Structure 1
């Protein structure tokens, strides 16, 4: 994670207990990355993003909006 130097962390939602932002960014490996320093995190439902089917285009669009905001058009 440290050498990848992510600008954003993408975290899939799951059925297990959620990890808080403070817990995630409290991890020294994550905290030392650009994403950790800026606390940039995108949480998305894993089944929505990876469950290939009729919603795939919507999921990709939603992810792009999360990453790039107003730069994304319909």
Structure 2
């Protein structure tokens, strides 16, 4: 049976209106999810660096070793996510 004939023979039930078709996405629709994603990344990534810098300070590490730790955490985050 052709699709047009199928649609004509299968109308919605009385009292059950068809939902409106979805509207196309606009740039404004993507703003809030994008901001939420950025905040999530900054918070999750930032928490890790706070711990790394505090541990490096407590361990008495210099800038070179602290940078190495930060590089290690960054590499781990990139590989494991």
Structures share fold, TM-score greater than 0.5: no
| Greater relative contact order (CA < 8 Å, ≥ 6 in sequence) | 1
Give 1 or 2: higher strand fraction: 1
Q: Which structure's CA Rg is the greater one?
A: 2
